[in-house]
Amino acid sequence: MIAAIRTHNLRRWLAPLALIAALTMAAPVLAQDPPSSDLLNAVLWMQRSVEYKATALGAFALARIRLDQALADRNWTGAPKEQTGAYQSLPPAVILDIDETILDNSGYQAWMVLKGTSFDPKTWNAYVNTVTSVAIPGAVEFAKYADSKGVKVFYITNRTAEEEAPTRKNLEKFGFPMGGGVDTMLMTRKQPDWGSAKGTRRAHVAKSYRVLLNLGDNFGDFVDEYRGNEAERLKVMDEHKDRWGREWIMLANPSYGSFESAPFKHDFKQSDADRRKAKRNVLDAWPGP
C-alpha cells in the first residue's frame, strides 16, 4: 500500500517536471531573435518613418516645378548624352525608374530581413507577380500632372521583359499613365541591346522625344558609369553637379543600390562576411574617447 502511494506521488511530480523541462528546452527557440540584417534600419525607415514620406513628397514637388520650367525652355534636356540633333522641336517626355522611385517594394525587403535571406531573382519574380508593390508618396500625382501637360511618361526599369505584365498591372492599379498607343514600358532584355545599363534605353526615348526630366533612386538611373569604385563614382557625380535637383531628381533609397556594392567592387561572388568587411572598412569612424 505504501509503495503504491509513493509510486502515485512520484508520477504526480514527474509529469509537471517533464513539462517544465520541455518548456525550458524550448524557451531559447521561442525567444530567439530574427537573424541580424544590414537592411533592418533602412527598411524600418522606408516603411514607418514620416521622414521618408516627406522626402519623397519633396522630390516630386520639386519635379513639378522643374517640369514647368523645362516646358518653357526649349533647350532644356534631361538626357544630355543621349539627346542629339534638333531635339528642341521634339515632343516632351519624362523618364521614371520604377523600383523605389515610383513603386515601393519594401515588403520584399522586409521579408528578407525577417527570413535572414538575400535577393534572389526567383523570389523577386514571385514577389513581382503578386502585384502588391505600393505607390511611393507623390509619384502618381506627379506622373498624372506630367501627362496632363502633354508630356509622355516613360518607365525605364531593370525589371525584366518577362515581368512586364505584372508590372503593368501594378502601375495601372494606381492610375499611372501608360502611354496610350506608345510603348512606354522599357524593360531590361526587351531588346537585345537593353541590358542593365540604361543608356541605350534613354537613347531610344531621346530619338523621338525631348527628355525634360529623369527621376530615379540609383546612380545607374542617370549615368552608365555607376559601377566604378567610390572615387570614380564621386568624380562622375561631380561632373554632373549642376544637373542634380534640376533635370535629374534622386529619390532616397537606403536599402539597396550601387552605393552598397561599390566598397566590394560590385563583386557579388564574395561571401556575405567579406562584403560586410569591405563596407565596414570604408566607414569614416570617430576614433573614440
Size (the chain), residues:
289
Classify residue 7: in a domain, yes or no: no
The β-bridge partners of 214 are: 95, 248
Instruction: Tell me how far apart the alpha carbons of residues 110 and 96 are, in angstroms, rounded to a whole number.
Output: 24
Domain that residue 70 falls in: 40-281
Classify residue 3: in a domain, yes or no: no
DSSP 3-state of 163 = helix
Binned at pLDDT 50, 70 and 90, residue 272 comes out as confident
pTM of the model as a whole: 0.87
- With 0-12 / 13-18 / 19 or more C-beta atoms within 10 angstroms meaning exposed / middle / buried, residue 283 is exposed
DSSP 3-state of 151 = coil
Instruction: Tell me how far apart the alpha carbons of residues 16 and 82 are, in angstroms, rounded to a whole number.
Output: 76
Classify residue 33: in a domain, yes or no: no
Least confident of 35-39, 51-55, 214-218: 35-39
Rounded to an integer, the average pLDDT of 60-83 is 97
Classify residue 100: in a domain, yes or no: yes
Torsion of CA 84, 209, 102, 261, to 10 degrees: -20
Binned at pLDDT 50, 70 and 90, residue 29 comes out as very low
Classify residue 173: in a domain, yes or no: yes
Q: At what angle do helices 164-174 and 121-128 cross, to 10 degrees?
A: 40
Cell 516627406: give the residue: 54
